[in-house]
Structure 1
Amino acid sequence: MLRAAACATDIGHEAKSLTLVKSFSAHYSSARLPDDIGGLVSATVLDLSKCEALTMLPESIGSLVALTRLDLSSCHALSALPDSIGDLRALTMLDLSSCYALTGLPDSICSLTALATLDLGGDCHLQCLPHSIGELTALTKLGLYGCRRMRESLPNSICNLGALATLYLSHCETLTALPERIGELSALTSLDLSSCRELAALPDSFALTCLPHSIGDLQALRVLSLRVATSLTSLPDSIGNLGALTELDLRHCPQLTRLPDRTGDLAALRWLDLSGCKALKTLPRSIGSLIALTQLDLTCCFALSTLPDSIGDLRALTLLDLTCCYALAGLPDSIGKLTALETLSLRSCNRELQELPERMCDLPALAALKLSRCDRLTALPERIGALSALTALDLSSCGELAALPDSIGDLRALLDLRLSDSVLSSLPDGIGGLASLTSLSVSGCASLTALPESMDALAALTYLGVHQCAIARLPDATGALRALRTLSCTHCRALTCLPHTIGDLAALTTLELRWCTRLASLPDSIGKLGALTELDVGYCPMLTRLPESTGDLAALQRLDLAGCEGLPSLPDALARLRRLTHLSVAGCQARVRASAEAHHHRTSAVKVKASEGACGLRHGSAERHIL
């Protein structure tokens, strides 16, 4: 839509001229502006963004001598600018982003000596910049992101932009090199070269097929992004000269095999992302000199087999992510020196990693330890209980982990413990020491036959998941879990009964027993679950009765009995369930279905599903739609 805004700075400006400009606000399909638009000599702002049919600007545009902002973004049909654009000597902002038809700029644009922001990004079809672009001495921000048709290099004069602080070149997919003199951009603080797929090296002054060596001269540079520079094979040694650099983004540079030794000279570096550098085999020893580094991401560095001992010198490091480092065989003992480390992820290090060093237990700040899908991990360090700050421990899908050390009960700060899909056959009695634990999942532990009685000490536990376990009965201690809100025992095909103490779970809102094929009955005490809103006993074919006390479940909203073939009837007490809104009896005996339908007629608010249909069930969720 054509939108034009003129801000008058001259009291004598004629109202009818403003009216003329404003009248274009509704004509988004207009292909041109009136020639007399140049009469708006007091206008400071002209917004023509999203005028998708606008193909040209009149030469009279150059008469807008007070204009400071000109927005032509998303003028998709605009193919050229008039030479008179260079007469806008007060202009500080020119936005030409997403002008898809624009293939070039007039040389006169270099006369805009007040211009501070020039945005040419957003998939403009721009092929080159004027050779005299370096004359824009006030320019602080230049956006060329997404200029996929940009010629192989930038004009050398760009290095004359002494005030330039931000240069966006991301997704310039045909850009193969940077000017050798790029290091002369002394004010540059942010350089984005992400997704410059043809850039193979950096100039030594900087030091995309390569970076110029002169890149090391960018003394003010704080952010350097080379993300998805798929042809980049190396960085120049001069990169160590970037003393102000705080962020270095090398994500998804698949041909990068090494970092230069001088990487360790980046004394201000706080964030280093090497994720997706599939060919990276090792880190330089100098990495330990990055004294300010707080985050190191090595996710999906498939070839990385070891970490240098110097990694332990990163005393400011809070996050170390080694997810999917398939070749990683272990961690150095020096890992225990990372006193600030809060998160350590070794997820899916599933080919070589078999053990963890005992020194890892010396990490005083470690809050999250992620070890899921470490298929060859056979044991945890005996002293793991010494991780006093640990709040989350994920050991799910550790297919060789057969036992937990007794000291695990010493993790007094632990909130979340995930043990699902492991080969554990038992849990240590010490687990009762996890006084802060709120969530425990042992789902998919097919060899787990019992839960320890010591669980009665888990006073903070709100979620207990035991899907697909071999547990024949829950311990009587289950009733002591007074904070428990969700108890999920689906697909526990060996489970025959629930303890009478189940009725003591005053906070329980969701009880899932679906596909417990040997479950024959529910205890009478179930009626004491005053907070229960969802009861799922679907596909429990051995279930022969529901206790009359079921009618005492005053908060119950959803009751799923689908597939309970052995259930001969429904208790009359169900009529007392005033809040019941969903009742499923599909696959039950005809008498049960008829009873459910009769209940529906008595209470029209209840939706009854008496036969299999299109209405699907999403198991394991308190937000299922059961009809």
Structure 2
Amino acid sequence: MALKELPSSIGNLIGLENLHMNNCENLVCLPGSFCKLKSLERFYLKGCLRLEIFPEIMDTMERLYELDFSGTALKELPSSIANLIGLVYLSLNDCENLVCLPDSFCKLKSLTTFRLHGCSRLEIFPEIMDTMERLYELDLSGTALKELPSSIVNLIGLVYLSLNDCENLVCLPDSFCKLKSLERFYLKGCSRLEIFPEIMDTMERLYELDLSGTALKELPSSIGNLIGLTRFNMNNCKNLVCFRDSFYKLKSLEIFNLKGCSRLEIFPEIMDTRERLYELDLSGIALKELPSSIGNLIGLTRLNMNNCKNLVCLPDSFCKLKSLERFYLTGCLRLEIFPEIMDTMERLYELDLSGTALKELPSSIANLIGLKYLGLNNCENLICLPDSFYKLKSLGRFYLKGCSRLEIFPKIMDTMERLFELDLSGTALKELPSSIGNLIGLQDLTLQNCENLVCLPNSFYKLKSLSRFYLTGCSRLEIFPEVMDTMEWLKDLDLSGTALKELPSSIDNLIGLTHLNMNNCKNLVCLPDSFYKLKSLLCLSLCGRSNLIVKNLFTTVGGRLVNQKDPHGLSSMKQLDLSESNLENLPTTIKQFQLHELILRNCKRLKSLPELPPSLEHLDAHDCTSLEDISSIKNLFKQALFCHDRPYQSLVLDFSNCFKLGDKGVGNDIDADDNTSLEEVSGIKKVLKQALFCNSLGWLFTNCFLLDQKAASGPETPKLEMPFEHMVTLLKDYHQATPESKKRNIIVTCVPGSEIPEWFDFKSVGSSMNIQLPSEWCSNNSWINFPSFVASAVVSVPDSSYTGGEFDITCECHLKSRNGDNDCFSSSSSFSFGSRLSDHVFLVYDGFKVREIVKSKASNNRIYIEATFNFYLEELDSSECEVKQCGVHRLFAN
């Protein structure tokens, strides 16, 4: 509200219990009669940004127990605050002008919670001249305090004390240890605090202490008096150089974090067994070794030493950590030897040695009988693995990615049922052992960029559980082994960048194969006849292949059409990627495939498109710079099956950067000025109507400059104007349809152009506009008559050096009702452009959001009278672009 003050007569509301004035940003004062509200229990003034003075409280108020001044402009509290004798909760969070507190603060005997978080000008906390038994929570985080008064000990009931991010704090009182009720003490980010006080007496209840980011160099020897401490955090204490031996006295400690203490070189001896400590984080510290007494941490379950770059060895006593479950040593660049494991360790299930300097693992690694995860990624010095590897019967995941000196994988002397993922990418392997078939549970096998790999074992087919097999970049692999038996589970096979010349005829034994990638297989010359028996194949990628291979795909060796003799051949294939091929034309037989997605990106020589499969949902012809004729796409709209059998059907046609694509290439029947008959125009309306009832329609002609709506060389009526008008006409019919017949419909299109189409009802320069809605829009409270909107924007690039990129266009609409209420919805679409971007016109429709918001409000008799539209460019590289014009076209059902 715009309220600036309360009347003095407010005191007459003698029965008032709750007074809410949050976010009254214009409020500047409160009346002195406030204290007459004897029944008041809760008073909220949060966010009253201009309130600088709180009135004197001239009489006691027993019932007021909750008072919130958070975010106000108060500079101080009156000393008469003590008259709030029943106050339990007091919040002054983010009162950035507050400079002092009254000494009478200690008289608030009922106070339990006092919050001063973010009071960045508060430098002094008042002396506490009398005991306060009930105050259990005190939050001073982010204040300007340099110290606490020694009288803080009078807060005898204090349980929670936070001084996080008090960057001026330089000391703590010696009396700190007398806070016998204290349980949680937070000093995170107190970057000037160099000394922690001696703890002269035991503190039984303090269980959590956070000193992260402080300037401490050491801890007092009396730290052992924190006998109840369970969680101790010293992350990023970059000045910490030593740790007292008395550490071992912290018998209750469960979690100890020293992550990022980059000057800490020595970890103290553990003089006695410790059962409770279960988590120890030493990552990023300067340790060279661990003490042999580390074995006394008999309850330790998690040990993190990631990025301990000075660590050179581990103690032999490591194997005594019988409770250890997870051990992380990633990035320990100087660790060359892993200790012998002299006894079995049943519980250790995760061991990550990635990025270490290990040359080998000890054969005793087999004693890790519970190991499930073993990471050795980027161990560039690793040259061999122990023969005992196969004894790790519990192992499920084994990662050796980037072990560039590893030339031999050990024989697997017995079956391993549980290993389901093996990553050997970037190793120096020349072959795999024939015993690889003993990995009977293997599901994922990755050999990407194994540039020395020349062959695969014939036993490959024995991997009956294999689901994904990746050989991308194995540039010396010339032969794929015969598949001697059926493999039902192999779904994904990636042979991209290999030196294969052909596939074996037995490839059809991969009866479950759904995804096959053969991008950039430059030596591949043919596909076997049996290839067409891959009846489960969904996605085939032949990116970068020659014209010969593509034609071979669509015909048998004898030249017969695929579907004439074998109507079920490749019948399941939904996605085909022929990007970067040197095709000039696609075979006409492509229409016989049941494709949903056809990717033709960067086919620089492609000139025309044949009739395409009626099932097609996505055609990507980005950067097909020679493409001139796409008139066949009109047939995609003529399929009666198009929208009715699949409830989530969509159609996206992307011809971005098809610089030669002109009006004739789009099809003369879309040009109403070239003697197009009425029947043809009617046909366009019919097929567009079918498309409009799909889930989404994308019609993208980005950078197709010959289609510019206002090209200087073409004074005639813009060629694409007509289908746009048809589209809007049909949207009106769609808007009028019954709700049950509608799906969520999104339409996006773009073409080169610099002006909003003439038929738009409203146009404006810039990125925002305001329109009035007719008051009679709602008859009989029927929300269906409310108008939907087609939005349009012209995006310009003022700098011709724009290098291209991606951005989102968001149209945000604010609806204002007759009673002053506001509702908002927005629609966004993503676009990408090349470096030749000029002005483009975008058209966006999403009627679903309008319908839903109006439908939900209709029962409240909410009549909308005004709509404000704002257009934003967001995401990548949008800073150089701007919305130059915008427009809105209303669609009414009647």
Range class of TM-score, shorter chain:
0.7 to 0.9
Q: Cα distance 1:111–1:28, how it changes in 2: closer, same or farther (>3 A)? A: same
Q: Which residue of 1 aligns with 2:576?
A: 583
* Distance of 1:601 and 1:247 partners within structure 2: 64
| CA positional deviation for 1:471 | 1.9
1:359 alignment partner, SS class: coil
Q: Deviations over 1:226-249 (max 9, x none)?
A: 1111x2111111111111111111
Q: Which residue of 2 aligns with 1:242?
A: 226
* Distance of 1:600 and 1:520 partners within structure 2: 30
User: Given residue 190 of structure 1, which amino acid in structure 2 is its aligned partner?
Assistant: R
Q: Which residue of 1 aligns with 2:617?
A: 605
User: Which residue, out of 255, 268, 278, partners 2:239?
Assistant: 255
Tell me, yes or no, if structure 1 residue 178 matches structure 2 residue 161. no
| CA positional deviation for 1:143 | 0.9
* Distance of 2:185 and 2:426 partners within structure 1: 48
- Which aligned pairs between 1:392-403 and structure 2 lie closer than 5 A? 392-403=373-384
1:567 alignment partner, SS class: helix
| CA positional deviation for 1:360 | 5.8
* Distance of 1:571 and 1:610 partners within structure 2: 23
Q: Which residue of 2 aligns with 1:160?
A: 154
| CA positional deviation for 1:461 | 1.6
* Native 8 Å contact 1:335 1:360 kept in 2: no
Tell me, yes or no, if structure 1 residue 535 matches structure 2 residue 516. yes
* Native 8 Å contact 1:568 1:591 kept in 2: no
User: Which residue, out of 455, 476, 486, partners 1:494?
Assistant: 476
User: Given residue 387 of structure 2, which amino acid in structure 1 is its aligned partner?
Assistant: D
Q: Which residue of 2 aligns with 1:89?
A: 85
* Native 8 Å contact 1:276 1:299 kept in 2: yes
TM-score by length of 2: 0.61
* Native 8 Å contact 1:503 1:527 kept in 2: no
| CA positional deviation for 1:259 | 1.0
Q: Which residue of 2 aligns with 1:427?
A: 409
* Distance of 1:320 and 1:162 partners within structure 2: 37
Q: Which residue of 1 aligns with 2:540?
A: 559
* Native 8 Å contact 2:507 2:531 kept in 1: yes
| CA positional deviation for 1:339 | 0.9
User: Which residue, out of 288, 307, 310, partners 2:293?
Assistant: 310
1:262 alignment partner, SS class: helix
* Native 8 Å contact 1:255 1:277 kept in 2: yes
* Native 8 Å contact 1:580 1:606 kept in 2: no
* Native 8 Å contact 1:449 1:471 kept in 2: yes
Q: Which residue of 1 aligns with 2:253?
A: 269
Q: Deviations over 1:5-24 (max 9, x none)?
A: xxxxxxx9877x579x45x4
| CA positional deviation for 1:609 | 4.2
| CA positional deviation for 1:326 | 1.8
User: Given residue 369 of structure 1, which amino acid in structure 2 is its aligned partner?
Assistant: L
User: Given residue 112 of structure 1, which amino acid in structure 2 is its aligned partner?
Assistant: L
User: Given residue 86 of structure 1, which amino acid in structure 2 is its aligned partner?
Assistant: A
User: Which residue, out of 64, 68, 71, partners 1:67?
Assistant: 64
* Native 8 Å contact 1:504 1:529 kept in 2: yes
User: Given residue 415 of structure 1, which amino acid in structure 2 is its aligned partner?
Assistant: G
| CA positional deviation for 1:193 | 1.5
Name the Cα RMSD after superposition.
3.1
Q: Cα distance 1:382–1:328, how it changes in 2: closer, same or farther (>3 A)? A: same
Tell me, yes or no, if structure 1 residue 292 matches structure 2 residue 276. yes
Q: Deviations over 1:108-143 (max 9, x none)?
A: 322211111111113543211112276433111111
* Distance of 2:459 and 2:2 partners within structure 1: 71
* Distance of 2:536 and 2:245 partners within structure 1: 65
* Distance of 1:485 and 1:133 partners within structure 2: 73
Stretch deviating more after TM superposition (550-559 or 462-471): 550-559
| CA positional deviation for 1:561 | 1.6
Q: Cα distance 1:409–1:80, how it changes in 2: closer, same or farther (>3 A)? A: same
User: Which residue, out of 176, 181, 184, partners 1:190?
Assistant: 184
Q: Which residue of 2 aligns with 1:43?
A: 40
Q: Which residue of 2 aligns with 1:625?
A: none
* Distance of 2:459 and 2:545 partners within structure 1: 28
Q: Cα distance 1:98–1:559, how it changes in 2: closer, same or farther (>3 A)? A: farther
Stretch deviating more after TM superposition (63-72 or 449-458): 63-72
- Specify the structure having the higher radius of gyration (Cα): 2
- Which aligned pairs between 1:124-163 and structure 2 lie closer than 5 A? 124-132=120-128, 135-147=131-143, 149-150=144-145, 152-163=146-157
| CA positional deviation for 1:296 | 1.4
User: Given residue 226 of structure 1, which amino acid in structure 2 is its aligned partner?
Assistant: L
User: Given residue 167 of structure 1, which amino acid in structure 2 is its aligned partner?
Assistant: L
| CA positional deviation for 1:429 | 1.2
Gap regions ≥5 residues in structure 1: 4-11, 207-213, 617-627
Tell me, yes or no, if structure 1 residue 443 matches structure 2 residue 436. no
Tell me, yes or no, if structure 1 residue 507 matches structure 2 residue 489. yes
* Native 8 Å contact 2:211 2:235 kept in 1: yes
2:270 alignment partner, SS class: helix
| CA positional deviation for 1:473 | 3.0
Q: Which residue of 2 aligns with 1:233?
A: 217
* Native 8 Å contact 1:529 1:553 kept in 2: yes
2:176 alignment partner, SS class: helix
Gap regions ≥5 residues in structure 2: 4-11, 556-561, 591-608, 625-655, 658-803, 806-894
User: Given residue 71 of structure 1, which amino acid in structure 2 is its aligned partner?
Assistant: D
| CA positional deviation for 1:507 | 2.2
Percent identity over paired residues: 32
TM-score by length of 1: 0.86
* Native 8 Å contact 1:28 1:50 kept in 2: yes
Q: Which residue of 1 aligns with 2:644?
A: none
1:84 alignment partner, SS class: helix
Q: Deviations over 1:316-364 (max 9, x none)?
A: 111122212222221111111111111112221112x221221365323
Q: Which residue of 1 aligns with 2:440?
A: 459
Q: Deviations over 1:402-440 (max 9, x none)?
A: 111111100000011011111211211127533201110
Q: Deviations over 1:519-545 (max 9, x none)?
A: 222344445545444322111122223
| CA positional deviation for 1:549 | 4.9
1:500 alignment partner, SS class: coil
User: Which residue, out of 345, 350, 362, partners 2:328?
Assistant: 345
* Distance of 1:53 and 1:287 partners within structure 2: 60
Q: Which residue of 1 aligns with 2:390?
A: 409
* Native 8 Å contact 2:57 2:83 kept in 1: no
2:295 alignment partner, SS class: helix
Q: Cα distance 1:473–1:498, how it changes in 2: closer, same or farther (>3 A)? A: same
User: Given residue 489 of structure 2, which amino acid in structure 1 is its aligned partner?
Assistant: A
| CA positional deviation for 1:298 | 1.0
2:80 alignment partner, SS class: helix
* Distance of 1:413 and 1:61 partners within structure 2: 75
* Distance of 2:528 and 2:197 partners within structure 1: 79
Q: Which residue of 2 aligns with 1:99?
A: 95
Q: Cα distance 1:14–1:435, how it changes in 2: closer, same or farther (>3 A)? A: same
* Distance of 1:294 and 1:515 partners within structure 2: 47
1:408 alignment partner, SS class: helix
* Native 8 Å contact 1:545 1:567 kept in 2: yes
Q: Cα distance 1:110–1:551, how it changes in 2: closer, same or farther (>3 A)? A: farther
Aligned length: 589
Q: Cα distance 1:402–1:48, how it changes in 2: closer, same or farther (>3 A)? A: same
* Native 8 Å contact 1:246 1:268 kept in 2: yes
Tell me, yes or no, if structure 1 residue 379 matches structure 2 residue 360. yes
User: Given residue 310 of structure 1, which amino acid in structure 2 is its aligned partner?
Assistant: S
* Distance of 1:201 and 1:593 partners within structure 2: 77
Stretch deviating more after TM superposition (267-276 or 361-370): 361-370
Q: Cα distance 1:513–1:78, how it changes in 2: closer, same or farther (>3 A)? A: farther
* Native 8 Å contact 1:2 1:50 kept in 2: no
User: Given residue 345 of structure 1, which amino acid in structure 2 is its aligned partner?
Assistant: Y
| CA positional deviation for 1:55 | 3.6
User: Given residue 507 of structure 1, which amino acid in structure 2 is its aligned partner?
Assistant: W
User: Given residue 374 of structure 2, which amino acid in structure 1 is its aligned partner?
Assistant: L
* Distance of 2:345 and 2:289 partners within structure 1: 20
| CA positional deviation for 1:265 | 0.9
* Distance of 1:41 and 1:478 partners within structure 2: 85
